[in-house]
Amino acid sequence: MNANAFRQFYDYHFSENRKLWESVTALSYEQFTQAIAYSRGSVRDQILHLIDADEVWFCELQVISPSDPFPEATVDDRPQIRAHWDAVEQQMRAYLAGLRDEMLFEKPIQEPEEDKELFVWQVLLHVANHGTDHRAQLLRNLHDLGIKTTSQDYIFYIFEHLM
């Protein structure tokens, strides 16, 4: 286990998030905000949950406060959501750029109490796994809404980017 492996895996995570977003932009605003009776609700709500989880966990690792929750939608706010997601991704990339192998075995989280014993490597695996889980849910939602989706298999990312 080393920092470079995590950086590479997060490159995949960010790439898959962007591919997912391309599919989301094909939705009408009504489809984007349509109530879905599974997991976090609408596609919009799922996307915001994915962003929020990434941001909160990486803020915990850095012992900083996350941004305020995104406001409820009153108009199509996809440009603002994309801009927020880009900012969160840049914050994550900055943390990962400074990640060193020995940091993976640190326990930097101070709050909440239940997270204090987590190693950095455990948090990084959790966040990436959480992203895969919610992207899979969103891909199904998008499919049900008539949007063509693609696989998010890590190995296909490797074949495309490293070979």
Closest CA to 48 of 22, 27, 77: 77
pLDDT mean over 118-123: 98
Per-residue model confidence (pLDDT) at position 58: 98
Per-residue model confidence (pLDDT) at position 163: 62
pLDDT mean over 118-133: 97
Question: Which three-class secondary structure state does DSSP give residue 148?
Answer: coil
Per the CB < 8 A criterion, the answer to whether 89 and 11 are in contact is: no
Mean pLDDT score of the chain: 93
pLDDT, tens only, 78-99: 999 999 999 999 999 999 999 9
Per-residue model confidence (pLDDT) at position 40: 76
CA 14 remoteness from chain centre = 7
d(CA 124, CA 57): 8
d(CA 96, CA 3): 8
Using the predicted structure, report yes or no on whether residue 118 has a pLDDT greater than 70: yes
Per-residue model confidence (pLDDT) at position 57: 97
| pTM reported for the whole predicted model | 0.92
Question: Which three-class secondary structure state does DSSP give residue 94?
Answer: helix
Per-residue model confidence (pLDDT) at position 141: 92
Using the predicted structure, report yes or no on whether residue 158 has a pLDDT greater than 70: yes
Length of the chain: 163
Architecture of domain 3-162: Up-down Bundle (1.20)
Domain limits of the chain? 3-162
pLDDT, tens only, 8-66: 999 999 999 999 999 999 999 999 998 887 777 899 999 999 999 999 999 999 999 99
- Specify the amino acid at residue 37: A
**40 CB-side CA count, 13 A:** 20
